[in-house]
Structure 1
Amino acid sequence: MRLGRKSILAALLLAVCPLAAAPVTAQENGSGLRIGVVVPAEGNFSILGDQILQGINVLKDNSGPAIAEILEEPDSCDPAGGEDAASAFVEAGVDAVIGFLCMESLSSALPILSASGIPSLTLGVRSAIVAEDANRQGLLFYRMAPRDDDEAKMVTRTISTDWVGKPLALVEDGTIYGRELMESVRILLEEIGISPIFVDNFRPSQDRQFGLVRRLERSGATHVFIGGDRQDAATIARDSVEAGLELTFLGGDALNAADGNPPLADGFFAVTLPDARYMPSATRAISQFDQAGIPVGNYTIAAYAAGQVLMAANRAAGLSSAPLADHLSGRQYFTAIGQIEFDEFGERKDNPFELMVWYNGAFVPADLSGGNTGQGGTTQ
């Protein structure tokens, strides 16, 4: 429980920096927030780092004096890099840190930042283990990203509410991602008394999937969940249509990727993060991004929302004697990505994933009751 956090942090502070003076915070000096940002500066993930920096800077540019400064440190995705970034932020006296796309750097940075009363909001780490360790040590950890079990929970919710009584098949591609996602869904469904009529796997990255399609036909399934990537999902859907089957397909977050050959057909459902442009809460933020000429992506809007949470928490802290971190849990914050509330473990109380459907070249919010069509058939 986080109730013992203050005593744990006090001990950490004495152990880590017994002679150091506490940094002057925005709450104490009445100035704007100083926010640290830890992002990859090179490699394949640097584009995500750029998105995060763009997102938080657009918020800063449109928030007057509420955010005084954005300080950046590179995320090398290893423990040493996390320690270096955390130490630099402690020395600079930032009020909070956002970013952290890698578990290794986040895990090593958390004790150092928490010892100085600096909360960390991760935008990318989904591992449940990080939160469990942080809670056990009383660290100031908060997750804006989905948890690694949120995807399976939302898939299960979709199947158990919208596919009730439908002949269900669960198939996966044999990869760690596909197998673990499908198995998690199967177990969650079993716990609520739902059993698929067919469970199978398939070889990924094949030009044709007629073998699986024939097995699906023999099974009698009409609704199919696929634990696999976008290309295989599109191939299975195409081949099922060519075989004359009317199947409704659902996939996971891996479907939210670049289109390929064959393209994903309209009507394919996926549990994924919603596009901010379809979120009423993001209207103002999107206008600001458009004015700045910056594309709106998942990480740009997440960084913007993280800054909104910190601004609101800082305003609340300014009206009390409690530090900013004490105002992060147990409060509702209205952001560009909707209402955010953290529980006592720093986890979001909502599930960020939503049911979306591919239509006209984009994933749009799915309204099953409105008669959206699945690949080869309806969801009704």
Structure 2
Amino acid sequence: MRLLTTTIAALTTATAALFWLAASAAAETLIGVAAPLSGPSAILGNQVEAGAGLAAEASGIAIKAVDDACTADGGAAAAKEFIDAKVNVVVGFLCTEAIEAALPILKDANIPVITVGVRTESLTDRRAKTGWPIYRLGPRGDDERNVVATKLTQLWRDDLFAIVDDGTIYGREMAETFRAAAEQAALKPVFVDTFRPQLDNQIGLVGRLKKAGATKVFAGGDGDDIAIMGRDAAQLDAGITFAGGENLRTPPGDVPYAVGTLMIATPEWAEVADPKVVQAFGAKNIVPDGYTLPAYAAVEVAKAALAGAESSGQPLGQALTGHDFTTAIGTIRFDDKGDLSQSPFRLFRFDGTHFVTLEDK
């Protein structure tokens, strides 16, 4: 009887120790979430917090959300708070000012950052010099124009195409990048011009495009202007297909897009995400739009990388680089600079109701 009692006591002690170890392991995994939770960008920050929170709940890990206020001071303060809390990795950040102030502080603490919204190219381009531990789960600032140039140069190789822009920095950069890529491919547009935006009609521009013989036109500008061009081209029986960037993904205006209008943009994540995850958002009355799903995916990547680093004994930065991570929005892989190894921009076509992807996700 005494032996049995001793054995039970030993087993009880061992079980308690196992529970303590499991609890300790769980407690050691803490993911920081940096987002603007106050001010004019709070609606976007709340999306990040909601998506990260739902992923943490599904993964059985803890998060610590901190308001970075979308400012340099807020970013620095958030970084210090994360260090005090002993987080393993930070996800989020939507503003350049905040992340630029936070990264040097987090670097010194050896805490990597997975940003879901900052597109500033220099953050990763300067990585060899700064040593900042940043990983970008989203496009770079130059991804859109580079993908536009690559895809349309391939798609319109045998077409008479034109390039126009609205004179803004955005429009000019898009148009010039495409023109330069076409020139390198020994292609020349039949018409290049700058149009006046926000007019009730673009009959004059469309007339000149028709006279030049253009059948395909890239327009660096807003969706409303491109919709008007498509309408006027139909009225003139010009036989022109228009294309634009992600500015076309806006709420419908007074003039609908012409059927066949092309758009280069990132996917609507809710349309390509794991249906079970989308259902989980619905069960919590969370709309899976904006940054909710990218934030969910960032937590999934963080958890998988932490597990990989622990099992292999390698630094977390190495575990994050050059590995495929299965997430709710597809496979994520970071290159040596911390950018996505494959741009998320895709080619879409307007079918009369909405834009439909012409590519696999």
Identify the residue that residue 319 of structure 2 maps to in structure 1: 327
In structure 2, how many angstroms separate the alpha carbons of the residues matched to 1:58 and 1:31? 17
Whole-angstrom distance in 1 between the partners of 2:113 and 2:131: 13
Q: Does 1:78 align with 2:78?
A: no
SS at match of 1:205: coil
After TM superposition, the structure 1 = structure 2 runs for residues 84-95 of structure 1, keeping only pairs within 5 Å, are: 84-95=77-88
Change (3 A) 1:345 1:277: same
The equivalent of 1:3 in structure 2 is none
Matched residue, 2:34: 38
Point out 4+ residue stretches in structure 1 off by more than 4 angstroms: 26-29
Are residues 1:350 and 2:350 paired? no
- The match for 2:6 is none
Structure 1 Cα separation of the partners of residues 177 and 215 of structure 2: 21
Identity, % of aligned positions: 38
What is the TM-score of this pair, normalised by structure 1? 0.84
1:27 offset after TM fit, Å? 12
Report the AA paired with residue 314 of structure 2.
A
Matching residue of 2:278? 286
Kindly provide the amino acid, as one letter, of the partner of residue 26 in structure 2: S
Letter in 2 for 1:321: G
Change (3 A) 1:360 1:55: farther
**Secondary structure at the residue paired with 2:87?**
coil
- Per-residue CA deviations over 1:28-47 (Å, capped at 9, x if unaligned) read 95226312112122343221
Q: CA deviation at 1:343?
A: 1.1
Instruction: Tell me the SS of whatever aligns to 1:355.
Output: strand
User: What does residue range 249-328 of structure 1 map to in structure 2 within 5 Å?
Assistant: 249-279=242-272, 282-328=274-320
Sort the Cα spacing of 1:27 and 1:91 in 2 relative to 1 into closer, same or farther, 3 A: farther
Shift of 1:287: 2.1
Matched, 1:162 2:158: no
For 1:28 and 1:249, locate their aligned partners in 2 and report how far apart those are by CA, in whole Å.
58
- Distance change >3 Å, CA 233–CA 291, structure 1 → 2: same
Equivalent of residue 239 in structure 1, options 217, 232, 238: 232
Contact 1:27 1:314 in 2 (8 A): no
The one-letter amino acid of 1:286's match is: V
Cα distance in 2, alignment partners of residues 43 and 244 from structure 1? 49
Conserved in 1, the CA contact under 8 Å of 2:245 and 2:265?
yes
CA distance in 1, matches of 2:140, 2:22: 30
2:200 counterpart of 1:207: yes
Equivalent of residue 213 in structure 2, options 206, 220, 224: 220
Alignment RMSD (CA, Å): 2.1
Radius of gyration: which is bigger?
2
Contact 1:276 1:282 (8 Å CA) reproduced: no
Structure 1 unaligned residues grouped into runs of 5+: 1-25, 369-380
Amino acid corresponding to residue 244 of structure 2 in structure 1: G
Alignment match, 1:50: 46
CA distance in 2, matches of 1:98, 1:81: 15
Shift of 1:211: 1.4
User: Judging changes above 3 Å, is the alpha-carbon distance between structure 1 residues 196 and 44 closer, same or farther for their aligned structure 2 residues?
Assistant: farther
Equivalent residue for 1:142, pick from 131, 135, 143 = 135
The answer to whether structure 1 residue 363 and structure 2 residue 359 are counterparts is no
| Contact 1:253-1:273 within 8 A present in 2 as well | yes
Q: Is the 8 A contact 2:153 2:178 kept in 1?
A: no
Show CA shifts across 1:339-361 (max 9, x none). 11111111111011001122354
Question: What is the CA-CA distance between 1:367 and the residue it aligns to?
Answer: 5.8
| Pick aligned residue for 1:186 from 179, 185, 189 | 179
SS in 1 for 2:239: coil
One-letter identity of the residue aligned with 2:216: H
Is the CA contact 1:98–1:121 (under 8 Å) kept in the aligned structure 2?
yes
Query: How many positions carry a matched residue from both structures?
Result: 339
Question: How far is the alpha carbon of 1:259 from its aligned partner?
Answer: 1.5
Determine the structure 2 residue equivalent to 1:6. none
TM-score (normalizing by structure 2): 0.89
Per the TM alignment, residue 77 of structure 1 is displaced from its structure 2 partner at its CA by 2.6
Counterpart residue identity of residue 81, structure 2: A
Q: Which runs of 5+ in 2 are unaligned?
A: 1-20
